[in-house]
Structure 1
């Protein structure tokens, strides 16, 4: 999230898994890992929650106040994002069948920032064997005029999966 903030500011501005995707409205889908077991270990490595491979979370994750990162000038922030950011660029979304086609389309120029960025966050406690992974959408509708920013940044959780960490050591 801090890298996103710096970009924003620079412009002036196992085996078991269960999951749900929360879309607009009441629709709920089940998230599945592409190629299941084959990608589970790669995914856990990218999440950086079990670096020693013992099947347990290495440390408590930190909840971030994402909306404070974007509160600049007259930019409104709405929505919410859970957990600690582990991927700001949407790379991890490619590991899930339901989100593999999501692409960041955020564009920034002198007039503002428009579009979406997909991030991944995690929630877990030290020594737990399961981690909750969230896929989030951050929508930018920010205008820059006379050096001042206005508009909105909206965050929302679009997917959630609970992963049992595999022992890899």
Structure 2
């Protein structure tokens, strides 16, 4: 009897720990694209890039909300042709908006947003990096069937979305 109890207890532990080790689902397909629910510590841009590659998304737009452990905004200096970064910690993303396209390196994510701190001060602009904070972040992705590309354009050295107006 004691050995059966020990066996059952061991089996319970194995099943329980195996279930805890499974990857938490980060996205699901919807009628218009995908819904992502990201968790604490997730790199938002990397997760969107991976989704675009895994699901072979030709192009898309997206919106989102949620908590960020840190977000780095970049204000583009047109004379220096580079972003001047500024990082904010423990903020709530009141808005995220962006697009998915492609370049020679792979998926190209362009994202802007507005973050607020605990005193309701708002900061915003082009997002260079962002990680999910305590809680989660929801991102709604609307996919398109037309592949879009980005290319570096001079003289600004800017990564610009390319359009073909031919049908």
TM-score bracket for this pair, using the shorter chain length = under 0.3
Question: Normalized against structure 1, the TM-score is what?
Answer: 0.24
**Larger radius of gyration between Structure 1 and Structure 2:** 2
TM-score scaled by structure 2?
Answer: 0.25
